[in-house]
Amino acid sequence: MRTLSLESIQVKVLEGKRISQEEALYLLEKADLSTLGLLADEVRKRFHKDDIVTFVIDRNVNYTNICVAGCKFCAFQRKVGSPEGYVLDINTILQKVKELVDWGGTTLLMQGGLNPDLPLSYYENLFRTIKAHFPHIQIHSLSAPEIVYLARIEKLSVEEVLKRLKDSGLDSIPGGGAEILSMEVRSFLSPGKCTVEEWELVHTTAHKLGMTSTATMMFGHIEKPQHIVEHLERVRRIQDQTGGFTAFIPWTFKKGNTQLDHLQEASPVYYLKVLALSRIYLDNFRNIQSSHVTQTMQVGMVGLHFGANDMGSVMIEENVISSTSYKVSIPKVEDMVQAIRAAGFIPAQRDTYYNIVRVFQ
């Protein structure tokens, strides 16, 4: 068995060679923050020599909070029959999309609970109506657990569900619902959601159908370092096979009104280490996002020196993280532009597919 060393792994990274799971775990557990940051920054520069950092203008419309999944980390969900449960009507959603378009937004993110009262036809009608009114809006909606749940209640395959949703106007799929892609973690954290294999099936099928998606990771709860590496390996392998992921987006668990409030939240230092490792390990991903929503804008800016080239979104609306005790601060476009400049980069607005819409000189 060969002996690992920080020096040998550094050489591999700087030479542009792929590191193994074993080497990734060594970096996460043994490397200091500054070393990880320097290595991740070198990898970022290979993909983004121009030092442009992007962001998107979007709106996160949570169309229902009724959910049967029962995830232990979620403060947003409400049980079937709860007086606090809701389903947004089509006119309310259209008004929200109009406000997004008027604001210069390009991306409509819609995610909700696993609501047994909403059939596939509800989503087909919803997407068709949105596209009829706003044909240029990019519908980046429905996470893998929602799609798997729809397939289950409709007794259809995942591919049949995705084909019908795509025909109705769905453009791409967010990576939500991944949490940690390890059943050892998932069976405790979110036993009511899709399995690791089902999450993978949704994304590989979407890619086969010509749709793009993002990959995400929500960490800083019960997982161990090896679970983080297991997650990164899975999404890297999928990307090798399909090339359909546009970006990787890691963020941390926030407590408050959850079943995991007894846990200690991940520190900004640990967040930056995992962010940097993600950039180093995911050598087939062009874009890595820094999370200002869960980390504050200050830490999000630092993340740009730890491998990230994207600052996520300027959102009109956010309801899920806001359901915890964490105070979410949503920046305006000018705030985002100023923050990216202050971090030493060139700000640019992008669309859902990471195409540049506007560069702020």
The residues, any chain, with a CB within 8 Å of residue 361's CB and separated by 6 or more, are 346
Residue 1: inside a domain, yes or no?
Answer: no
Q: How confident is the model at residue 345 (pLDDT cuts 50, 70, 90)?
A: very high
Cβ-contact 80, 66 below 8 angstroms: yes
Residue carrying structure tokens 């740009």: 304
Residue 177: inside a domain, yes or no?
Answer: yes
Q: How many angstroms separate the CA atoms of 216 and 250, rounded?
A: 5
- Mean pLDDT of all residues in 252-278: 82
Residue 10: inside a domain, yes or no?
Answer: no
Domain that holds residue 154: 17-359
320 pLDDT higher than 60: no
194 is an annotated ligand-binding site residue: no
Q: Which residues pair with 172 in a beta bridge?
A: 140, 212
Which CATH number fits the domain that encloses residue 103? 3.20.20.70
Residue 273: inside a domain, yes or no?
Answer: yes
| pLDDT of amino acid 135 | 97
278 is an annotated ligand-binding site residue: no
Please state whether the predicted TM-score (pTM) of the whole model is above 0.85.
Answer: yes
Picking from 192, 218, 181, 187, the residue whose alpha carbon sits closest to that of residue 71 is 192
Residue 195, CA distances (Å) to 72, 184, 198, 258 in order: 16, 11, 5, 21
Cβ-contact 54, 309 below 8 angstroms: yes
77 pLDDT higher than 90: no
Residue 9: inside a domain, yes or no?
Answer: no
190 is an annotated ligand-binding site residue: no
Residue 303: inside a domain, yes or no?
Answer: yes
Per the structure, how many domains does the chain have? Answer: 1
Residue 99: inside a domain, yes or no?
Answer: yes
67 is an annotated ligand-binding site residue: yes
Residue 21: inside a domain, yes or no?
Answer: yes
- Mean pLDDT of all residues in 279-301: 94
